[in-house]
Structure 1
Amino acid sequence: MMVFMMAMSMVQKPANAQGDLDVNAKAAILVEASTGKILYEKNSDTAQGIASMTKMMSEYLLLEAVEDGKVKWDQKYTVPGNLSEMSHNTGLSNVSLREEDSYTIKELYEAMAIYSANAATMAIAETIAGSEANFVKMMNEKAKELGLKEYKFVNSTGLNNRDLQPYVDQVVGGPEEENVMSANDVATLAYRLLHDHPEVLETSSIPKKVFAEGTVDETHMDNWNWMLKGLLREYEGMDGLKTGTTDFAGANFTGTAERDGLRFITVVMNVDVPPGENSYDARFSETRKMLDYAFNNYSMEEVLPADYKVKGQKTLSVEKGKEKEVQIKTDVPLSMVIKNGEEDQYKPKFVLDKKKLNDDGELTAPVKEGEKVGYVMLEAKGKKDLGYLTDKGTNASKASVVTVDSVEKANWFVLSMRAVGGFFGDIWNSITSTVKGWF
């Protein structure tokens, strides 16, 4: 009876979608950072509160504006009364900004990225867009441009609009609204931030810094990402990105860590808080669980070498060429993040570029050496594949297939002889078929 009961408990245990990882949060996602390959997800397509993870979008827009020369790091911002008042609200994360004093954009950016300073974030938004409302419009437009799907931005900070009401002329959206995104979209934003503006890590990795050092407003900023080196929940390789907490959103964290050239992105949203643990610790515990799982179970493997020739498709026929066919091969090695022990769970799939071929599936001479004729990708065998965050990531998991040699177009005489040979060949084939039919 005991053996039977144990067996039944094993059978009835609910299976996790990704097998051996379960994250105690309303939503979560784990991604390999170079390609955006999704390794784990839980309720990742549903929009919900993101709190101060919002500031990743504010960072993206600032870094883009600096890159485009529209904003300079040493540019000064003079603090108006409303933002000075907000910066002294001790119920919100802030650094003190003295009215009519000036601060550089670099100082305000560091306060935003390290200490999640809300008034400093709004100052940056005003610098870039002229007003909070205009900046919110830019945030939503950029989200669409980046291919995000489930999102809505109503402010630059991630606060509830009720917290902003006293400090702005008019809030965007409803009086109780907050910014929302899906875990998939948060991870996509983090992925694009790391790829388009990798310098973000130079600031997000700073564990401690002093704002307005040597003044009466001096603020010692400890990064809210406690997993950074030297902080309470230190984790090897951790260097970003952004925490966030409100009553509506719960405890959230977008993390990223790199070891030996392999980087992962994690997102946890509205984590479950076990008895005796606070929400700050809980989000880091779940992130640690995800990163341990990733680093212990996955590696980047070269699965196809350069010059790989596709089995059963090592050549393509060429119409009107001096040669009747040309060899084809991959131009670069194909690497992919793979779970340990699952190297044989993927098979190469060759996809031809039909625009390059005639109706008979042939290339037409002349053909250049190294001309791209398709690509090879890896296809999972009998295994659910979660795909990639973006098409850019999908393309990174493909290797182009190119021609090995060039094929010149044959001259008119050769083409004429082939046509004559083809004509008599067709007659001969017709005769032999007829004769065979007599017997």
Structure 2
Amino acid sequence: MKRIMFQKTFVCLMVLIMALGLVQKPADAASAAINVNADAAILVEASTGKILFEKNADTSLGIASMTKMMTEYLLLEAIKEGKVKWDQKYTVSADISGLSHNTSLSNVPLRNGGQYNIEDLYHAMAIESANAAAIAIGQIIGGTNENFVKMMNDKAKELGMKNYKFVNATGLNNRDYKGPGYDLAIVGGPEDENVMSAKDVATLAYRLINDYPEVLETSSVPTMKFAEGTEDEFKMNNWIKMLDPNSKVYYEGLDGLKTGTTDLAGPCFTGTAERNGNRFISVVMNVKHDPTVDSYTARFNETEKIMNYAFSNFSIKEVLPKNGVLKSNKTIPVDKGKEKSVKIQTNKPLKIVVENGKENQYKPKVVLDKKKLTKDGKLTAPVKKGEEVGYIKVDSKEKNDLGYLPNTGKSDAKVSMVTKDAVEKANWFVLSMRAIGGFFGDIWHGITSTIKGWF
């Protein structure tokens, strides 16, 4: 008897274990495909903001010189708005000159009292990661370090970031703002440093290359001379070694964006690369590596791993072209119009990021704006040509979908649906005739229904 009870208990236990295994949450496909040796990482498709892989992406960590992407963004914005000009001159203070000659920091030496144009300082910051040049740019835009830091934090909030804190324009630890021969004002504590999450860094990179794509013309330059032809000429070498065809970490198609290293942040890199019309953004933070690999190479190795995964597994697919229609929703009925319906179409191509081999998991669906429709589901004339009446989105069957970067204008893959033509309001005579026709039509329908009932 005891033996039978034991067997039944054992069988029940095995069934329970198997059942738990069946309902267990499936592992993230990306995590299974790549193992990134970093405290945090993320992979994003660059035109849509679609997240394809993430690891601890919402955790705030040190960002070091990746900070300079925000300084670049604010500078390019100021240039666009006409508040700053490329040929505008900046006179270097003794403190900034002193910091620029600190050889333990990444810098381009600037003369005390020397004058440099904004474009040269921008190149120094973007290519050589020059810290003194970044501070100078912050002062040009914000007037003071304190005001510029406020602008950085305000812009981060505006761009939809969630886990960040900026205390300076460079990414240095605040302790580095004071040294032999210089004493620069700081914001926050003496040991404070900028922090962001990988998702926030990716959001900044996404906005930077989409709002100001010209940034890639600079970030992709392997070497350049600062203030060429002057007494201050200085050869700058880009810290992104993946740009150099002669480097062992060279990566075809990679053209930016920013490296970073401090004691707090560890080796970091925000990269972007394009091949065959597909562009991706990757971020790695505090990369881990064994002693046989230097930290600079390690961050590029992890970036290569992520980029190879991206280009091998994902591509952009066009679900519908511009002016495309869905067979099930070609028209919308119109009330009180000269025409009784109007054709609808997409206002631009509907494109989505698709994992290779999973194209059949996506289905387009039209969602109409109920605020523009009557209770009967009709538009009311007059209707303008190109009037937005809703949108078409793509539903995914993917259970582990990671969504999109915040504040990119996308919560899912969708484009607006607009009217193909205008529909004028019908005059009173036409509306009267329709009403009369409808009245007699209802009578006739009632009579025929009654007669059918007799038989």
Compute the TM-score of the two structures, normalised by the length of structure 1: 0.89
* Alpha-carbon distance, 1:356 to partner: 1.8
Show the counterpart of 2:432: 416
5+ residue gaps, structure 1, are 1-7
The DSSP-based 3-state class of the residue aligned with 1:27 is: strand
* Alpha-carbon distance, 1:343 to partner: 1.2
Alignment of 1:196 with 2:222, yes or no, is no
The DSSP-based 3-state class of the residue aligned with 2:334 is: strand
Show the counterpart of 2:158: 145
Residues 23-422 of structure 1 aligned to structure 2 (within 5 Å): 23-166=36-179, 167-168=182-183, 170-212=185-227, 219-230=234-245, 232=247, 233-394=249-410, 397-422=413-438
* Alpha-carbon distance, 1:433 to partner: 7.3
User: Deviation digits for residues 122-167 of structure 1, max 9, x if unmatched?
Assistant: 1111222222111111111121222222111000100111111444
The DSSP-based 3-state class of the residue aligned with 1:322 is: coil
Q: Contact conserved, 2:403 with 2:411, CA < 8 A, in 1?
A: no
The DSSP-based 3-state class of the residue aligned with 1:173 is: coil
Rounded to whole Å, the distance in 2 between the matches of 1:391 and 1:353 is: 21
Call closer, same or farther: CA 1:331–1:69 in 2, change over 3 Å: closer
Rounded to whole Å, the distance in 1 between the matches of 2:339 and 2:228 is: 75
Letter in 2 for 1:309: V
User: Deviation digits for residues 92-149 of structure 1, max 9, x if unmatched?
Assistant: 1112222222222222211111111111211111222222111111111121222222
Q: Contact conserved, 1:29 with 1:40, CA < 8 A, in 2?
A: yes
* Alpha-carbon distance, 1:248 to partner: 0.7
User: Deviation digits for residues 260-311 of structure 1, max 9, x if unmatched?
Assistant: 2221111111111134112111110111011111112222222223444324
Letter in 2 for 1:358: T
- Shifted more, 53-62 versus 337-346: the winner is 337-346
Rounded to whole Å, the distance in 2 between the matches of 1:306 and 1:105 is: 41
Rounded to whole Å, the distance in 1 between the matches of 2:80 and 2:385 is: 38
Rounded to whole Å, the distance in 2 between the matches of 1:160 and 1:197 is: 28
User: Deviation digits for residues 341-394 of structure 1, max 9, x if unmatched?
Assistant: 111110001110222211221111223344332221111124332222245452
Give the paired residue count.
Answer: 429
Call closer, same or farther: CA 1:78–1:47 in 2, change over 3 Å: same
Q: Contact conserved, 1:229 with 1:238, CA < 8 A, in 2?
A: no
Rounded to whole Å, the distance in 2 between the matches of 1:321 and 1:53 is: 57
Give the share of equivalent positions with the same residue, in percent. 66
Rounded to whole Å, the distance in 1 between the matches of 2:339 and 2:226 is: 71
* Alpha-carbon distance, 1:17 to partner: 5.1
Show the counterpart of 1:3: none
Q: Note the aligned Cα RMSD (angstroms).
A: 2.8
* Alpha-carbon distance, 1:228 to partner: 0.5
Rounded to whole Å, the distance in 1 between the matches of 2:29 and 2:356 is: 18
Show the counterpart of 1:5: none
* Alpha-carbon distance, 1:172 to partner: 0.5
Tell me which of 22, 36, 54 is aligned to 2:35: 22
Rounded to whole Å, the distance in 1 between the matches of 2:105 and 2:448 is: 91
Letter in 2 for 1:154: V
Q: Contact conserved, 1:159 with 1:246, CA < 8 A, in 2?
A: yes
* Alpha-carbon distance, 1:174 to partner: 1.4
Call closer, same or farther: CA 1:143–1:306 in 2, change over 3 Å: closer
- Shifted more, 289-298 versus 75-84: the winner is 75-84
Rounded to whole Å, the distance in 1 between the matches of 2:111 and 2:346 is: 61
- Shifted more, 321-330 versus 86-95: the winner is 321-330
Rounded to whole Å, the distance in 1 between the matches of 2:74 and 2:172 is: 18
